[in-house]
Amino acid sequence: MTQIGGIGVPPVEENIPQVVLRNYGKWDTHEIVRPGVIKRIAQSGEVCYTVRIAMPPSRISVATMLELCDLADKYSGGYFRITLRNSFEFVDVDPQRIDDLIKEVEALGFPVGGTRNSMHNIMACPAWIHCNLPATDSPGIAKAIGDALIEEFKNHRLPSWLKINIGACANIEEALMADIGIIGVHRDIPVVIEDKIKICEQPTVIRICPTGAIRAKGRESVEIIAEKCIHCGACTMHCEAILTGDPKLDGFAVAVGGKASNTGSGPDLGRVVIPYLPNNPPRWPEAVEAVIKIVDAWRKDAEPDERMREWINRIGWDRFFKKTGIKVSFKDIDGYYYGNEFARSDLRFGW
Amino acid sequence: MEPILNKETNAETTPMTDELCKGPWPSHAKELKRTRFPIMMYEEAMKERYTQWGHGGMSSVPGLGSGAIARKSRRPDIISHSHLIRVLGAPGNFYKTSTFRKILEIADKYGDGSLHVLTTNYNIEICGLMTNEDMKAVTLELNAIGYDVGSAGDAIRNIADCMGPSLCEYAVMDTPRLKYFMTKHYIDDIQYPRFPFKIKTKMSGCPNDCGKALLHGDIGIIGVFRDLPKVNNERLLEWIKLGGDIQRVLDRCPTDAMVWDGKGLEIDPDRCVRCMYCINRIPAIKPGDDRGVAITAGGKMKGKYGPMKGKVVFPFVKVTPPDYNELVEAYNRILQVYDENGRKKERIGDMIQRLGFDKFLELCGVEPMPMHFSSPRRNTFYHWSEEELAGGVR
């Protein structure tokens, strides 16, 4: 029998263009020639141009990838990379032909941009396309927000970069790690399907609940203690016979201020500012409106080079709510485990 | 190759998905319509405002390591099930069209012609597979072109990396080569799940942390330097002459560590925190030469205690290719502590919360340093061992 797996990944050198290999670790600086086009300059004086485009949220077809591969063959010697925000980047493009490439790739429907002070590519999980736990549809929201903010992707008009991530349930890490994150929110109590629950191991199901909201019911079934449930979906992920989600109750929350870089105030997770908005497919007007409201307040008020979180740290959360017009609710006050740390213990208010 | 369109599944009216095909942003709905993906599953979901897919997760296919994800359907009238295979991303996420076309060919031959490029853990997903045999065949064909599957189940997930020194001037650590080494070294732990829960490992080449290693990684490996940033004053003056705004950088240095007298720049060693801000803004300032990595543990979103940031476990570890002994030793210690102490379905972050960070560091065999906390504790509720009572504080 042929061995399956155990291979690992292809060697570094295999997929990297020659100019990159020659200057590996010897890059000196870079310039953004125009939004989406980066000129990397090596110590040796050699240059490497990259062109970045937005990608459709979550899914892409083989046919479209083949078209992009054709363009990569034509313009970048067959090399490309996918950035950490899932943009597609042509690596080592001839500077004379960048305009042609941009024309061709825009004709295919891919905007060029997403560098420096612009909105970067929007990240989204598959949600309704291929998942059993989503409370909302990330790709749909991403598409709606992308359509509304596409000019910010193509131009450097924002104070600093703006990253928007969308996760359709409480498990998607990305959502709290961007300047604006959208997180799917379940509000229902999970339902146990009595005639199917036997197929799940009772102890595992009870153990899986982070708050102990699941207890044994007889020898083969379990029941859910409603007031302990935090709607995290852990039970649904691990047992087929417990279902979370209700079309009438599901929706999403909006978080702001996540950031990974150590510059400024350092890395931090975002904070939830809008606890719930309803699903409204296919265009999610509530999500688009909330994002635009936050972006506009930030754009108007922030100093140059100030990320969302730095801006909030400077003006304080009280003024953030005032300037964005978002209403504060009890849901904004964290009462979960160590959440009390977030309560105010000083009198330095921003009236 | 011609665009793939399946007339049968895409013939019905789909007003909601059609709406999502409009507009200037690249559309996933348009993409799905170019494949054999059962678009009615998505259309119905939007109509019902509820997912039409059923239970799923890592499935163990006999003869195949992790990497296969099964997914049932709640709508057997449209499709019975649809599985997918996760392909480990290439180092630096660079691809060559000649091999990538082969991946696309495989995706088209066995799957429904849709891909997820990339997932949040930087894998490529080949979607729409129907049988175990297909998943095995996909893996064999991927193996033949040097790619492998993984990143599912309670195993080490894809060891994700940033582009590192391949294109970036800030990188102080060679992430793509380390990814290649780590994936080879830990391939059994990646493909055969044996841990209490998943372990996402993320790497970033510098403290800018584009790979979100600290926030996102159960174990994060981040390039750091200990000496001061290097300033080339001649080049700095040149940069100012060309219109560089030094005042803005001075103002936005988070610790006011830059002393500028109009002719030269000095960095105050008592204030600099190596945050990378000046390095990002001024090409005349470069990272220092005393380089290594910091290893963090416990970043995550789901689980008992909710979203957590990672915590620094090893503030500085030397990077010594080709065998990376120090780094592997440190990484193994975290794995071992997790393996021995983690409860079933408990992420590293939750385990640290339950054990206490002090206890966790002790189990990892780390000497306590000021780099391990942002402030010391404010209570005196600690435990004393018999030896300590006899011989003083450790």
CA–CA dist A7, B146 (Å, integer): 7
CA–CA dist A68, A46 (Å, integer): 26
CATH topology of domain B7-144: Alpha-Beta Plaits (3.30.70)
Chain A partners of B45 at a C-beta cutoff of 8 Å? 128, 137
Asked whether the beta carbons of B218 and B297 are under 8 A apart, the reply is yes
Instruction: Tell whether A20 is within 8 A of chain B (Cβ).
Output: yes
Element (H, E) at A313: helix A308-315
Q: In the predicted model, what is the mean pLDDT of chain A?
A: 92
Best residue of A3, A9, A14, A55 to probe chain B, by most B CBs closer than 10 Å: A9
CA–CA dist A180, A291 (Å, integer): 7
Separation in Å, CA of B235 to nearest CA in chain A:
12
Q: How many residues does chain B have?
A: 394
Least Cα distance to A231 among A169, A157, A165 occurs for: A169
| A243 SS3 class | strand
CA–CA dist B317, B43 (Å, integer): 51
* Chain A residue whose CA is closest to B256: A264
Q: Please name each of the domains of chain A with its CATH number.
A: 12-107 (3.30.70.3340), 123-187+247-342 (3.30.413.10), 191-230 (no CATH)
B31 to A64: CB separation less than 8 angstroms, yes or no = yes
Structural Rg of chain B based on CA atoms: 25
Dihedral-angle region of residue A258 (phi above 0 means left; psi in -120 to 50 means alpha; beta otherwise): beta
CA–CA dist A41, A39 (Å, integer): 6
B97 to A78: CB separation less than 8 angstroms, yes or no = yes
Residue found under tokens 């064999």: B140
CA–CA dist A310, A75 (Å, integer): 39
CATH topology of domain B164-226+290-391: Sulfite Reductase Hemoprotein; domain 1 (3.30.413)
Low-confidence ranges of chain B (pLDDT < 70): 1-12, 392-394
* Chain B residue whose CA is closest to A43: B169
Confidence of residue A94 (pLDDT cuts 50, 70, 90): very high
3-state SS string over A103-118?
A: HHHHHCCCCECCCCCC
- pTM of this prediction? 0.93
- From edge to edge, which strands make up the β-sheet containing A180-185? A123-124, A164-167, A180-185, A251-256, A271-278
Element (H, E) at A99: helix A98-107
**pLDDT for the residue numbered B3:** 42
For every residue of B261-312, DSSP letters joined together read: -SS-EEE-TTT----SHHHHH-TTEE--S-EEEEEEE--BSSSTT-SB--EE
Asked whether the beta carbons of B364 and B311 are under 8 A apart, the reply is no
Residue found under tokens 């909105």: A119
Q: Which of B37, B183, B273 sits opposite A8 (nearest CB)?
A: B183
Estimate to the nearest angstrom the gap between the alpha carbon of B247 and the chain centroid.
35
Question: What phi and psi, each to the nearest 5 degrees, are found at residue A108?
Answer: -75, -10
Chain B partners of A69 at a C-beta cutoff of 8 Å? 97, 100-101, 104
Residue B379 CB partners (closer than 8 Å, separation 6+)? none
Element (H, E) at A221: strand A221-224
CA–CA dist B174, B91 (Å, integer): 11
Q: Are strands A123-124 and A164-167 parallel, antiparallel or unpaired?
A: parallel
Instruction: Tell whether A107 is within 8 A of chain B (Cβ).
Output: no
Best residue of A65, A75, A186 to probe chain B, by most B CBs closer than 10 Å: A65
For the record, the structure tokens of B81 come out as 């099930």
For the record, the structure tokens of B223 come out as 């390039």
Chain B partners of A207 at a C-beta cutoff of 8 Å? 343-345
**pLDDT for the residue numbered B11:** 53
A59 to B28: CB separation less than 8 angstroms, yes or no = yes
Q: Check for a shared fold between B7-144 and B164-226+290-391.
A: no
A63 to B174: CB separation less than 8 angstroms, yes or no = no
CA–CA dist B365, B375 (Å, integer): 21
* Chain A residue whose CA is closest to B276: A263
pLDDT (tens digit per residue) in A227-249: 999 998 889 988 899 999 999 99
How many alpha carbons lie under 13 Å from residue A326 in its C-beta half-sphere? 31
B95 to A137: CB separation less than 8 angstroms, yes or no = no
For the record, the structure tokens of A37 come out as 């086009």
CA–CA dist A251, A231 (Å, integer): 12
Chain A partners of B48 at a C-beta cutoff of 8 Å? 247
Measured CA angle at B233 (ends B228, B234), to 5 deg: 145
Domain ranges for chain B: 7-144, 164-226+290-391, 230-286
Instruction: Tell whether A130 is within 8 A of chain B (Cβ).
Output: yes
B42 to A132: CB separation less than 8 angstroms, yes or no = no
Chain A partners of B24 at a C-beta cutoff of 8 Å? 109, 111, 146-147, 150
B101 to A58: CB separation less than 8 angstroms, yes or no = no
* Chain A residue whose CA is closest to B39: A129
* Omega before B322 within 30 of 0, i.e. cis: yes
Q: What is the DSSP letter of B4?
A: P
For every residue of B324-347, DSSP letters joined together read: THHHHHHHHHHHHHHHHHPPTT--
In chain A, which among 259-288 make CB contacts under 8 A with chain B? 260-269, 279, 281-283
For the record, the structure tokens of B388 come out as 């300590």
Chain A partners of B92 at a C-beta cutoff of 8 Å? 12, 15-16, 81
Q: What average pLDDT does the segment A188-210 reach?
A: 90
**pLDDT for the residue numbered B392:** 67
CATH code for the domain defined by B230-286: 3.30.70.20
Percent of chain A residues topping a pLDDT of 70: 99
Alpha helix ranges (H) inside B86-232: 97-110, 132-144, 175-185, 187-191, 213-216
Dihedral-angle region of residue A116 (phi above 0 means left; psi in -120 to 50 means alpha; beta otherwise): left
Element (H, E) at B127: strand B124-129
What's the ipTM? 0.93
The residues pairing with A301 across neighbouring beta strands, listed in sequence order, are none
The torsion of the CA quartet B214, B217, B221, B227, rounded to 10 degrees, works out to 0
**pLDDT for the residue numbered B5:** 46
CA–CA dist A122, A147 (Å, integer): 11
**Angstrom distances, CA of residue A99 to CA of A39, A72, B132, B228, B229:** 14, 14, 46, 41, 37
Q: Which of A48, A267, A337 sits opposite B167 (nearest CB)?
A: A48
| B367 SS3 class | coil
Separation in Å, CA of A113 to nearest CA in chain B:
12
Best residue of B2, B4, B14, B28 to probe chain A, by most A CBs closer than 10 Å: B28
* Chain A residue whose CA is closest to B203: A84
**pLDDT for the residue numbered B7:** 46
pLDDT (tens digit per residue) in B24-83: 999 999 999 999 999 999 999 999 999 999 998 888 888 888 889 999 999 999 999 999
**pLDDT for the residue numbered B393:** 61
CA–CA dist A179, A164 (Å, integer): 6
